[in-house]
Amino acid sequence: MIDSAVKRMLTDHQEKFLIPGSVVANVMNTNNLYHAFLVLTKVRYAKIIVLDKDGKYRGLLSLPMITEQMLETESVDVEKLKHIKVEQVMQTDAPTIVDPYDVEQNLHLLTDQPFLPVVAENGDFTGIVTRREIFKAVNHLAHDIDEEYDITSKH
């Protein structure tokens, strides 16, 4: 359990935790990898969200998942990408969260993930929580806790 004072400070600016889906780069599950390759190269993110036509979350896609498909023994075949769909190679086992403001869960999961997709119970994609935004909250805690609390050593 996180101490209540620490939790209070971590959630002081919790409205910034959620990056809304409307500004999160995505590809569709039915897009081909050629298209996804262009999108990923352009947005410059390591991994992006995969959605279906109804806006439901389906998985994550990274550049290595694509480049692996175009590798031949001694060459690369970019044309091959036009015949493979995103849903055939995307990652589907990444952790997702329902509540972007559960700071304890965020801290725990963001240790191993750079961002967490926020997915409603009905599968709708809501947005992402990034390690960067949570790290800002930790920074605020580390620098400002003594302005709001008296901290005394027990030893």
| Nearest-approach distance from CB 23 to ligand AMP, in angstroms | 5
Please identify, among the stretches 32-40, 96-104, 128-136, 143-151, the one whose residues bind ligand AMP according to the rule CB under 6 A: 128-136
24 binds ligand AMP (CB under 6 A): yes
- In terms of Cβ atoms closer than 10 Å to its own Cβ (0-12, 13-18, 19+), residue 35 is middle
Please give the Cα distance from 137 to 143 (Å, whole number). 10
Among 9, 10, 19, 40, binds ligand AMP (CB under 6 A): 19
Question: Which has the closest alpha carbon to 101: 20, 18, 21?
Answer: 18
Among 1, 3, 22, 23, binds ligand AMP (CB under 6 A): 23
Question: Which has the closest alpha carbon to 131: 37, 68, 47, 6?
Answer: 47
> What is the side-by-side order of every strand in the sheet holding 18-20?
18-20, 125-130, 115-119
78 contacts: CB under 8 Å, gap ≥ 6: 34, 37, 70
CB 36 within 8 A of CB 66: yes
Please identify, among the stretches 23-31, 50-58, 86-94, 117-125, the one whose residues bind ligand AMP according to the rule CB under 6 A: 23-31
115 binds ligand AMP (CB under 6 A): yes
Among 31, 47, 119, 137, binds ligand AMP (CB under 6 A): 47
Please identify, among the stretches 1-9, 19-27, 74-82, 88-96, the one whose residues bind ligand AMP according to the rule CB under 6 A: 19-27
Q: Which residues bind ligand AMP (CB under 6 A)?
A: 19, 23-25, 45-48, 114-115, 128, 130-132
